[in-house]
Amino acid sequence: MTMPSHAGTLSFFNDLHPPKSRFQDDVLEGLSRPQKSIPPKHFYDARGSALFDDITDTEDYYVTRTELGILDAIAGEIAAKAGSGAVVIEPGSGSSVKIDKLLNALDRAAAYIGLDISKEHLISACEDLAARYDGLSVGAICADFTQPVPLEDLPIPDGKRLVFFPGSTIGNFEPGGAKALLETIRGWLRPGDALLIGADRVKSADILENAYDDASGVTAAFNLNLLTRINRELNGTIETDAFDHKAVWTSDAARVEMHLVAKRDTEFSVSGQTFRMSAGETIHTENSHKFSIERFTALAASAGLVVKQDWSDARGYFTLYWLERA
């Protein structure tokens, strides 16, 4: 998706972007493991964010279309539950596309705060919202939400908070990490506040694998862009054409795994450190866990959150949950 050129003014922008050394540490540590792995948050440089937006437009990626359909159907209900003058906070906001459904339905939202690790994309999306919603106070926080985000020190306006966490981004975390992230978000909620979160459901392997290996090759480009980013930012010498994209559903862990598979024996250096990979060896780059309603409800409970209501599409592909502090 191309961001419009007109830009509104942000009420605040806080840059808590992690230092480049964090990216370097994660990559060097991850490439040194027996099963090489790199956390998926590092996909999201400016190019990675643009490619993610392109993924959401592909025929195979049912996730975004399905969640938008549910939001259309329930927008009035959400508006009634949120009440007047809500302060909406969106972690992992990306292009802030889904928020239009809420902002158009809510009764005079007081403020919108986008929070994302991808700085340029975040600023551009939030400035676009500020231009389009007259009278809405729009702030932006560039931060890694797996680290503490000191919301109490930031100029968040008063009002009932609605944290909006769509896209099944919660599924990118192993169970322990998902619990920790939900606990972080719980810490942002006061009594009466709520979390509206989207989580993808278990379904047939072919639908899931196609969603993460679309026919037009956009997800492959998204995965391979991580190597280009490493080469650019960490003085890497990785031959990107030595790697293929792979997406595989593993039913035991109820997740789609994305890997970069070495097509041939290859050797490269990153920040001066040498790595060797044999043909067929992989770098594990992302997990997308899928949840039954029961499993997600139990995960939320483990983080001190209670499901007050949930809404699914007719096919049972995706579910949105309204959570409050237990």
Ligand X SMILES: C[S@@+](CC[C@H](N)C(=O)[O-])C[C@H]1O[C@@H](n2cnc3c(N)ncnc32)[C@H](O)[C@@H]1O
40 vs 236, which CB is nearer to ligand X?
40
User: Reduced to 3 states, what is the DSSP secondary structure of residue 115?
Assistant: strand
**Span from 22-30, 89-97, 130-138, 241-249 in contact with ligand X (CB under 6 A):** 89-97
Which residue's CB atom is positioned nearest to ligand X?
Answer: 167
Smallest gap from residue 272 Cβ to ligand X (A)? 26
Is residue 39 within 8 Å of residue 26, measured between CB atoms?
A: yes
Contact flag: residue 182 with ligand X (CB under 6 A): no
* Binding residues for ligand X, total number by CB under 6 A: 19
- Give the other-Cβ count within 10 Å of 208's Cβ: 23
* Distance of closest approach, residue 71 Cβ to ligand X, in angstroms: 10
Residue among 169 and 282 whose Cβ is closer to ligand X = 169
Residue numbers 108-147 binding ligand X by CB under 6 A? 116-118, 144-146
In 3D space, the residue among 89, 84, 1 whose CA is nearest the CA of residue 46 turns out to be: 1
Region 27-46 residues binding ligand X, contact defined as CB under 6 A? 41, 44
Q: Which of 71, 86, 92, 259 is the binder for ligand X (CB under 6 A)? A: 92
- Taking the least distance from each CB to ligand X, the nearer of 56 and 268 is 56
Neighbours of 131 (CB within 10 A): 15
Rounded (10°) CA dihedral 235, 94, 128, 104: 180
Contact pick of 14, 45, 51, 52 for ligand X (by CB under 6 A): 52
Cα end-to-end distance, the chain, whole Å = 38
Tell whether residue 156 is a contact of ligand X (CB under 6 A): no
Helix residue spans in the chain (DSSP H): 20-31, 46-56, 62-82, 99-105, 119-132, 175-188, 205-211, 218-233, 293-302
Contacts with ligand X by CB under 6 A lie at 41, 44, 49, 52, 56, 64, 92-94, 98, 116-118, 144-146, 166-167, 169
